[in-house]
Amino acid sequence: MLLLATHHMFYFLIPIVFGALILVLYNKFKISTHPLFSKINITGIIKERLHYILPIAGFVIMFSIPFFTRRFLEVSRFAPIHISYIRYIGILIIPALGGLFYLIFRSKRSLGEQLLLLSTILLTALIYQVTYMKFFIPILAMGFAGIGLVNVIMLSKKYKYALFSTIILLVLAIIFSGYYQFFKYDSEEGSLYNERHIEESSFIAGKWIKNNLKNSAISHDNLFGTRILAISDTTHFLDTSSNIDQIYGFIEPNLTEFKKIPLTNERAWFARGFEGPDPGEALWYKVNLLDKKPMELNITYVVENTRANGNIIWRHGVKPSNLLQLAYNEKDNIYHGGNVRVWKLD
């Protein structure tokens, strides 16, 4: 239920559920010992190695689906996907690979080990959907890493030293992930206006806006503006979200411009079943570029993230905000706290 409510994450749970169903049927009907299965003509050498031939074949087939069919791709079949996954898994990818190969070549697997391996095989078809898979891969990788680390500990002649080394490795893994996910990110230029949390100055500014502004507003930095919007709930913000803009009365979408996508088309996964223009985002840009006058929408304030240096900040790149230039040259600054400034446009 949580994944259903979290963007498109639920779709990536389907292969795992499907894998569990396969295993339940496989074990219930005892397919491996079924008379029909025993009649299949397989040479002795292949039959002895079937326990690892099938998983390897499964990985190759699932990995090949997006590569040859051009389906389930986020950017390209040739994108360096390994970089993102290594970053999110961290140095535990080393014992994780050990655990993965251990399960592949192990002849007898528990039900949990079968589910872990089969789920990974089925999810391999979605390997190029990095935006979402980077949250699923670490979950499975930790299972493999656990198997790999336990094997090292149990096979070591000096158990105590192996256990101590494993603890050190886990601490280093936490430090690695913490550095690349937080400290290094915060030191990069992009984090100056795209942080993943609401800062105290933004929170205070949102409270001030809630108590002092009653008309509509806009920000040149979309994610920053969304954080302010979450706090200043009495002030209507023009946002890139068409849903929010429709609720606040900034736009009236023309439903005839939208086309229903069949469920058999993979675009239906990521377009909520329909495709068409994004009127909210288009209007947000027009106001920031002054192609649309803010007063026509009763927008009388612009909330600035001073670290963005007067630029429009959103996913289509950085460009100067004509609206902010107008505010700098002709309008009054009515609030300045931390990295937040509020300009009165009328």
What was the pLDDT predicted at 31? 66
What was the pLDDT predicted at 12? 84
What was the pLDDT predicted at 274? 77
List CB contacts of 116: < 8 A, sequence separation 6 or more. 103, 140, 143, 144
What was the pLDDT predicted at 176? 81
pTM of the model: 0.66
What was the pLDDT predicted at 277? 84
What was the pLDDT predicted at 305? 93
What is the distance between the alpha carbons of residues 201 and 337, in angstroms, rounded to a whole number?
6
What is the distance between the alpha carbons of residues 113 and 346, in angstroms, rounded to a whole number?
65
In whole angstroms, what separates CA 316 from the centre of its chain?
18
Question: Which one, of 167, 182, 205, lies nearest residue 333 by Cα?
Answer: 205
What was the pLDDT predicted at 187? 46
Q: What is the pLDDT along the chain (346 residues), one digit of tens a residue?
A: 777 777 677 888 889 999 999 999 888 877 666 566 566 666 666 767 888 999 999 999 999 998 888 888 877 777 777 777 888 888 899 999 999 999 999 988 999 999 999 999 999 998 888 888 888 888 899 999 999 999 988 888 787 888 888 888 888 888 887 777 766 654 444 445 556 678 899 999 999 999 999 889 999 998 899 899 889 887 889 999 888 899 889 998 888 888 888 877 767 766 667 788 889 999 999 999 999 999 999 999 999 999 888 999 887 678 899 999 999 999 999 999 989 999 999 8
What is the distance between the alpha carbons of residues 293 and 188, in angstroms, rounded to a whole number?
34
What was the pLDDT predicted at 256? 83
List CB contacts of 66: < 8 A, sequence separation 6 or more. 72, 73, 77, 125, 126, 127, 128
DSSP letter string over 70-95? --S-SS-TTS-HHHHHHHHHGGGHHH
Q: Can you read off the two tokens belonging to residue 328?
A: 């700098």
